[in-house]
Amino acid sequence: MKTAFLDKGHDHGDCIQAALNAAEVVCQKQKARLTPIRRRVLELVWRGHAPVGAYELLQILKDEGFNPAPPTVYRALDFLIQHGLVHRISSLNAFVGCSRPGDVHDGTFLICRTCGTAAEMLDQTVLGTIGDMALSNKFSLSHVSVEAVGVCVDCRDGDRTEV
Ligand SMILES: [Zn+2]
Ligand SMILES: [Zn+2]
Ligand SMILES: [Zn+2]
């Protein structure tokens, strides 16, 4: 059965390239500028499918000679979130690339605690339910982040002791 968790052997270079291409299109459409630092931060967030923390991003950029001040990285991340390219995973205080870039939406994720992969769910049923819940409570909703933690099929099959 195919799941939102990509095969460990998939060509991740394709994921990165697709994300960067989509970012170019989204920014052009929204008349926003994908500056070198924003582009590099997006690329680093897409290093894998596991969320990356801001501190880790800073360290990598520093090693590359970018040497940005922390606010620069946070501003780049804010930009990427606002333009629907990146999601913030609140429970991990980390960032992950959006699998439906450009269509700004709240994130629904299944997160593997073994390999760290955060798979974005495209099914919006949960968000709809939360929306109804807010409505019936006259609650004005600003942001939802659904983060379910467990073990993905690859990690489960690889280590049968953890079920
Ligand atoms: Zn990938
Ligand atoms: Zn998304
Ligand atoms: Zn896993």
For 59-78, the DSSP string reads HHHHHTT----HHHHHHHHH
Choice between 138 and 8, residue whose per-residue pLDDT is larger: 138
pLDDT > 50? residue 162: no
Compute the mean pLDDT over every residue in the chain, rounded to the nearest whole number: 92
Segments making up each domain of the chain, as ranges: 12-158
Q: What is the pLDDT of residue 160?
A: 53
Ligand found nearest the CA of 12:
1
Q: How confident is the model at residue 70 (pLDDT cuts 50, 70, 90)?
A: confident
**Cα 137 from Cα 35, distance rounded (Å):** 42
Cβ < 5 A residues, ion ligand 2 = 98, 100
- At position 105, the amino acid (one-letter code) is H
**Cα 104 from Cα 135, distance rounded (Å):** 20
- Asked if 67 and 88 count as a contact pair (C-beta separation under 8 A), the reply is no
Pick from 2, 4, 1, 12: nearest CA to 112: 4
Average pLDDT for 69-84: 94
pLDDT > 70? residue 125: yes
Q: Output the CA 160–ligand 2 centroid distance in Å.
A: 31
Radius of gyration for the chain, computed over Cα atoms and rounded to the nearest angstrom:
17
Q: How confident is the model at residue 163 (pLDDT cuts 50, 70, 90)?
A: very low
49: left (phi over 0), alpha (psi -120 to 50) or beta: alpha
Q: Output the CA 115–ligand 2 centroid distance in Å.
A: 20
- The pair of structure tokens assigned to 97 is 């690339």
The residue whose two tokens read 């960067």 is 20
Q: Output the CA 96–ligand 1 centroid distance in Å.
A: 12
Contacts of 20 (CB under 8 A, 6+ apart): 39, 42, 43, 46
pLDDT in tens, 36-56: 999 999 999 999 999 999 999
Class level of CATH domain 12-158: mainly alpha
pLDDT > 50? residue 107: yes
* Dihedral pair phi/psi, residue 106, rounded to 5°: -75, 155
pLDDT > 80? residue 158: no
pLDDT > 90? residue 9: no
Query: Which residues on neighbouring strands pair with residue 111, listed in sequence order?
Result: 118, 149
pLDDT > 80? residue 159: no
